[in-house]
Structure 1
């Protein structure tokens, strides 16, 4: 149950981010927090580099040789389509909580990997997306604002109630052009799972690392360095 809750948690965020970015520009700008404020690179950029292909993104993901010993690649679960209801968080309900256990985001260029560590109770996942800076910023900013704007709520997925608490965390401002971070606690059937999720936008790349807090902190810098390497 502990691992299953963590997977469900990441699916909630991923599915909500799948909403069309074109409808989020105004909302995102109106409700931006300091951690999601647009930078000069976003608003005043002159060059608009082409988005990377999914194949190119795949080659920039961390692999077992990057992570070190003790990590095992985790097979991706097929997309789920359970009925989902969000209770106690209108902002998330408005974003379409009914699709909360979907799979990856619908940005057309994407790549994802996931690992277990040690006794397999700890997990770490990495997602890469490429699109225009505006679309990436609007999409991820809207979701983080909605999730951290509700300190406690419940999601009922496939008939299973999951109590969720969300806490906004200081983002690592030294990394990338924009940063977001949050700590989520998922509780069900008397068990709890804590998931840290940090997103970094660097130009036309969006990196999202999620999982056990210690693993996210350990590999964030390395993931961004490989994702943005040009050599």
Structure 2
């Protein structure tokens, strides 16, 4: 697990502290877990900006080096109710094939947990990750 430090996801979104861990399940499945903390108001606002930035354009093209990659984003049902629970799936189509990542984020108080990885792994582990928020 990495040490807590200021973490900036984009020019518009910054969380006061962040720590993360990565897990590998075989050679093709990975899962990353991030914990962020800030005041509840700042954390909720930053999370909304991050999710809006990721989901506001359902299809776009980006480049990886000089290779074009088509990105499709679609919102998913949040794993838990509340205004600060989000989920979306990102599909990347390029010359080397297709990759699918799911991102799920849930805020409770001044802590946010975010899982990113293979959709089945995110779905399988999100409830345990959210349960940890009760003990923080």
The interval holding the TM-score normalised by the smaller chain is 0.7 to 0.9
Once residues 140 and 160 of structure 1 are traced to their aligned partners in structure 2, the CA distance between those partners, rounded to angstroms, is 30
Match of 1:19 among 11, 14, 21: 11
Match of 1:145 among 48, 52, 57: 52
Q: Which runs of 5+ in 2 are unaligned?
A: 1-6
Q: Shift of residue 148 of structure 1?
A: 1.6
Q: Shift of residue 167 of structure 1?
A: 0.3
Secondary structure of 1:107's match?
Answer: strand
Q: Which runs of 5+ in 1 are unaligned?
A: 1-13, 22-105
- CA offset digits 1:53-103 (Å, max 9, x no partner): xxxxxxxxxxxxxxxxxxxxxxxxxxxxxxxxxxxxxxxxxxxxxxxxxxx
Partner of 1:46: none
1:45-194 matches, cutoff 5 A: 106-118=14-26, 120-174=27-81, 178-194=84-100
Query: What count of residue pairs does the alignment treat as equivalent?
Result: 130
Return the TM-score normalized by structure 2: 0.84
Partner of 1:199: 105
Q: Shift of residue 207 of structure 1?
A: 0.8
Contact 2:12 2:49 in 1 (8 A): no
Bigger relative contact order (CA 8 A; separation at least 6): 1
Of Structure 1 and Structure 2, which has the larger fraction of its residues in strand? 2
Contact 1:196 1:212 in 2 (8 A): yes
Q: Shift of residue 160 of structure 1?
A: 3.0
Contact 2:90 2:102 in 1 (8 A): yes
Once residues 164 and 129 of structure 1 are traced to their aligned partners in structure 2, the CA distance between those partners, rounded to angstroms, is 26
Once residues 15 and 54 of structure 2 are traced to their aligned partners in structure 1, the CA distance between those partners, rounded to angstroms, is 20
Return the TM-score normalized by structure 1: 0.52
Q: Shift of residue 223 of structure 1?
A: 1.1
Cα RMSD of the aligned pairs, angstroms, is: 2.0
Of Structure 1 and Structure 2, which has the larger fraction of its residues in helix? 1
